[in-house]
A and B are shown apart, each in its own frame.
Chain A
């Protein structure tokens, strides 16, 4: 049975979900829910536990602790049933290079026990949907990166899934490829598909996700709607100063401004910012200052830190 909370149907519910690999904690007792027809984003730096979390959702990995309910079923007890109702776009391309574009979909349909005639209709429909019908007889290595991605999306839709899991769907794509994938996702969203999406790209999360969580080192450190997270944690605007002059820091302290310091930059988080910008420009020179809108990347870097991850 799917839980119905305030008229929102829970498609995924994780309670104290944990995963350890040989004493390394990959996911540390996290709680979250994904509701029907929303696009839920899992964000985090490398090694945050995003992929491990989605792999548990699509029953590739078994949780080491806590409870994970997907489409009303326990991942430990009914993996087959869950897997037959979800679609998965993995991080790495795992299309079958031994088969043509068409056969990739046809053979995949057979894993789901979709009958021959239905599979044929479904393959045709999906290839048209992702714009690859004229490539149906091509070999996989003849496709561009963007085409492969779109074929993987088509493949993940073969069983008309209730929940679509996308692990970094646009990593490594050129801008054209990326925007085509985004459009495909937006179209599916319009049709009422529920998504769980992981990404490194904050513009992608802001563009596609209704709700996000930011993970770091196995923990969920932030949760909310993208716009709200930016407003609550950063403000509306950011002044970037290309300088590491300590005079500037003293000035900001004296004015009680919220700021962050890196080796080469200061970032000042402000509500409006025009007044502050004029003042700083006058004192320190206008060529090193710029004002821009705050975005999710600011939240991300502020909450997970700027140092490199493995």
Chain B
């Protein structure tokens, strides 16, 4: 573990900068879809589904369904943008474009490259979280300015989900194989982490299962922050996310080193 951490340096930022340059060069493609995302969700769930759903009890007060799912959707965007960046996008760079191989002939180490990719994935999560948050603030769905704490949380959770994604990237043989983690991992989290309904409506055993899903911690933390309800649970949930990020970062660094050095 010491050896892995020793090989990470500030040079990781060079990889981040490379990805940022590419992002800026194609910013219209990168910026417009994430901006449309919250509008579509709010339209579908708020205006569509919201008509059929009564207010939801949260923290022993009644809030509108839109206010309830809004923060959940922020959490989903954070998860998706981090996870998809270090799975599909990193895989294309590693496997098809040989970008990593090229960088490895410069003073950067494999650890620098992989960690730089994780930082970039987390940055994409931050961007996605920020865009969602701005739209929610605009529609007065979240408290202001306390909800700005969503931003640092986006980056932290971004590290969690991008390091998890990178673990899969280190083991898949081809790009189609990402279907497995997406359908067995991302989709269940999307549905059962308390984004669309309070976990308390699930049977007790299902609630326990839900607390094994990383997204559950993020949804819970973001919802409390966005609605301006501070509690120590938030810190606890963040600690869990940081712990997962740390473990998955170590894991993916080891596995990527093995994969790239064969």
**Residues of A at under 8 Å CB distance from B?**
21, 58, 60-62, 79-81, 83-84, 88, 90, 92-99, 103, 107-108, 110-113, 159
The answer to whether residues A98 and B22 also contact, given A61-B261, A111-B14 and a CB cut-off of 8 A, is yes
Q: Which residue of A lies closest to B106 (CB)?
A: A111
Min CB gap B230→A, angstroms: 41
Q: B203: CB under 8 A from chain A?
A: no
Q: B213: CB under 8 A from chain A?
A: no
Q: Which residue of B lies closest to A84 (CB)?
A: B107
Min CB gap A142→B, angstroms: 15
- Residue numbers in B under 8 Å from A99 (CB-CB): 21-22, 25
- Residue numbers in A under 8 Å from B233 (CB-CB): none
- Residue numbers in A under 8 Å from B143 (CB-CB): none
A90 touches B107 (CB 8 A): no
Q: Which of B18, B108, B109 counts the most chain A CB atoms within 10 A? A: B18
Min CB gap A85→B, angstroms: 9
B102 touches A95 (CB 8 A): yes
A110 touches B102 (CB 8 A): no
Taken together as a complex, chains A and B put the C-alpha atoms of A90 and B102 apart, in Å, by 8
B25 touches A90 (CB 8 A): no
The answer to whether residues A94 and B97 also contact, given A103-B21, A107-B18 and a CB cut-off of 8 A, is yes
Interface size on B, residues (CB 8 A): 21
**Residues of B at under 8 Å CB distance from A?**
11, 14, 17-18, 21-22, 25, 97-99, 101-109, 261-262
- Residue numbers in B under 8 Å from A93 (CB-CB): 98
Q: Which residue of B lies closest to A82 (CB)?
A: B107
| A contacts with B: majority SS | loop
12 contacts across the A-B interface (CB closer than 8 A): A21-B262, A61-B261, A79-B109, A81-B107, A83-B105, A84-B107, A97-B97, A98-B22, A98-B97, A103-B25, A110-B14, A159-B106
Min CB gap B205→A, angstroms: 45
The answer to whether residues A60 and B104 also contact, given A80-B109, A97-B97 and a CB cut-off of 8 A, is yes
Q: Which residue of B lies closest to A158 (CB)?
A: B106
- Residue numbers in B under 8 Å from A61 (CB-CB): 261
A112 touches B101 (CB 8 A): no
- Residue numbers in A under 8 Å from B11 (CB-CB): 111
Q: Which residue of B lies closest to A96 (CB)?
A: B99
Taken together as a complex, chains A and B put the C-alpha atoms of A83 and B108 apart, in Å, by 8
The answer to whether residues A94 and B101 also contact, given A110-B14, A110-B17 and a CB cut-off of 8 A, is yes
Q: Which residue of A lies closest to B22 (CB)?
A: A98
- Residue numbers in A under 8 Å from B106 (CB-CB): 83-84, 108, 111-112, 159
Taken together as a complex, chains A and B put the C-alpha atoms of A83 and B9 apart, in Å, by 15
Min CB gap B5→A, angstroms: 15
- Residue numbers in B under 8 Å from A92 (CB-CB): 98
Task: Determine which of B22, B25, B97, B105 lies in contact with A60 in the assembled complex, contact meaning CB atoms within 8 Å.
Answer: B105
Q: Which residue of B lies closest to A58 (CB)?
A: B105
Q: Which residue of A lies closest to B97 (CB)?
A: A97
B107 touches A111 (CB 8 A): yes
Taken together as a complex, chains A and B put the C-alpha atoms of A149 and B14 apart, in Å, by 24
